[in-house]
Amino acid sequence: MTPQLDTYEQALLDSLREVVAERSPRHAPRRPSRRALALAGGLVAATTTAVLVVPGLGAEPAYAVSEGSNGALEVRVNRLEDAAGLERELRERGVDAVVNYVPDGGQCRRPGLVETDASGITLSVGDETFGVELEAGAVAAGETLVIDASMQRLPDAVSPEGYRETDRAEVWVSFEVATGSVPECVPV
């Protein structure tokens, strides 16, 4: 399957075609030089690479964890996949975590969860992504960061202004800082 080119990539390809057309005589077709082939190959490779990392084509990792110079951790979840990997990544950075993705837009109850102070933690929710920023020390030793999330695709709709709304989703995210053992999620 050939990927769809965005505006920038199409302009790059068109420019490459112009360069090739300018350098070749109109009357006698000739074989392009190795340099021209290398240039064309490099541009095509660059275009292919750009296509592979375009957001929305699945090239973004399911999650990313980065650390700021002040010791704060920033978690960005692009897709609700690999909860165990995110837990492992946070543990490697000194934060015990339980991450659970509830299927089909469900929510999670954790009866018996003992919550503690969650100050120093900020949640941001995008269209189909969410992020959690943890100030340094926001989750102390003996505490566990608990993240529960779900996403549900919504049917197309028409806004009151008459615009068709497509590719809609409802995202639910909950986070707590808990002490003691973390009870299992009970989907609701």
User: Using one digit for the tens of pLDDT, what is the confidence trace for 83-116?
Assistant: 999 999 999 999 999 999 999 889 999 999 999 9
More confident of the two residues 153 and 107: 107
pLDDT band at 39 (very low <50, low <70, confident <90, very high): very low
Please state the separation of Cα 171 from the chain's center in Å: 14
Instruction: Report strand pairing: 157-158 vs 164-165.
Output: antiparallel
Average pLDDT of the segment spanning 150-172: 87
More confident of the two residues 96 and 44: 96
> Across the chain, what does the average pLDDT equal?
78
Percent of the chain with pLDDT over 70: 69
The SS3 call for residue 135 is coil
- Tracing tokens 């779900």 back to the chain, one arrives at 150
pLDDT band at 169 (very low <50, low <70, confident <90, very high): confident
How does DSSP classify residue 109? E
81 contact partners, CB below 8 Å, separation of at least 6: 62, 63, 101
pLDDT band at 48 (very low <50, low <70, confident <90, very high): very low
Rounded Cα distance, 129 and 124, in Å: 9
**Which pLDDT does position 34 carry in this prediction?**
36
38 contact partners, CB below 8 Å, separation of at least 6: none
**Which pLDDT does position 18 carry in this prediction?**
65
Beta bridge partners, 169, equal: 153
- ∠182-187-188 over CA atoms, to 5°? 130
Average pLDDT of the segment spanning 34-58: 35
Residue type at 100 in one-letter notation: N
Lowest mean per-residue pLDDT among 11-15, 22-26, 155-159: 22-26
Instruction: Flag whether the pTM goes above 0.85.
Output: no
**Which pLDDT does position 53 carry in this prediction?**
35
pLDDT(56) > 70:
no
**Which pLDDT does position 22 carry in this prediction?**
59
180 contact partners, CB below 8 Å, separation of at least 6: 114
